[in-house]
């Protein structure tokens, strides 16, 4: 089992989640985060921290978000993105993008 960052994070990237993770398993990309499934200890403390409810346990992923399990795993495995464990400012237009659905197409690597 692992926890997974889903599309609600894209272009918002609030980063409240990273402050509470006890094992520093969030990785930061240009406009979203992922969770490294090899590091996540399934503690769930990050879930209520996300203002847009982007984080799910893999077994609870909504049907239209299941592809994010592989996205989180593949990006983590690639080593492309650095670890983030300190909260920073969200993205400039986070309020606008928090309302937008179907943001998968905007994920930047
Ligand atoms: Fe970190 Fe726990 Fe969230 Fe996994 S579930 S990403 S270990 S805070
Ligand atoms: Fe993304 Fe939510 Fe964390 S928007 S950066 S998963 S607090």
Question: Per residue in 19-76, pLDDT tens?
Answer: 999 999 999 999 999 999 999 999 999 999 999 999 999 999 999 999 999 999 999 9
Alpha-carbon separation of residue 38 from 2, 53, 77, 105 (angstroms): 8, 22, 9, 26
Question: Per residue in 60-89, pLDDT tens?
Answer: 999 999 999 999 999 999 999 999 999 999
Q: Where are the beta strands (DSSP E) in 1-109?
A: 3-5, 26-28, 33-35, 55-57
pLDDT of residue 42: 98
Closest CA to 38 of 82, 75, 10: 75
Question: Per residue in 89-98, pLDDT tens?
Answer: 999 999 999 9
Ligand 2 close to Cβ of residue 33 (< 6 A): yes
Taking the centre of ligand 1 as the mean of its atom positions, its distance from the CA of residue 14, in whole angstroms, is 16
Q: Which ligand is nearest to the CA of 8?
A: 2
To which residue do tokens 């240009």 refer? Answer: 30
pLDDT of residue 14: 98
Q: Which residues contact 5 (CB under 8 A, 6 or more apart)?
A: 17, 26, 32, 33, 34, 35, 54, 55, 68, 72
Task: Using pLDDT thresholds of 50, 70 and 90, give the confidence band for residue 4.
Answer: very high
In degrees rounded to 5, what are phi and psi of residue 79? 75, 10
CB 82 within 8 A of CB 28: yes
Taking the centre of ligand 1 as the mean of its atom positions, its distance from the CA of residue 54, in whole angstroms, is 13
Q: Look up the CATH number of domain 3-85.
A: 3.30.70.20
pLDDT of residue 25: 98
Q: How many helices (H) and strands (E) does the chain have?
A: 3, 4
Task: Using pLDDT thresholds of 50, 70 and 90, give the confidence band for residue 99.
Answer: very high
Ligand 2 close to Cβ of residue 14 (< 6 A): yes
Give, as one character, the DSSP assignment of residue 83. B
């Amino acid at each position: 089992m692992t926890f997974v960052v889903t599309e609600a994070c894209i272009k918002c990237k609030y980063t409240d989640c990273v402050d509470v993770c006890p094992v520093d398993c969030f990785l930061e990309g240009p406009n979203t985060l992922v969770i490294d499934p090899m590091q996540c200890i399934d503690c769930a403390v990050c879930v209520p921290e996300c203002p847009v409810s982007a984080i799910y346990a893999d077994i609870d992923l909504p049907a239209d978000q299941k592809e994010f399990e592989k996205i989180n795993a593949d990006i983590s495995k690639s080593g492309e993105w650095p670890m983030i464990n300190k909260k920073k400012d969200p993205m400039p237009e986070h309020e606008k993008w928090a309302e937008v659905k179907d943001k998968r197409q905007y994920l930047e690597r």
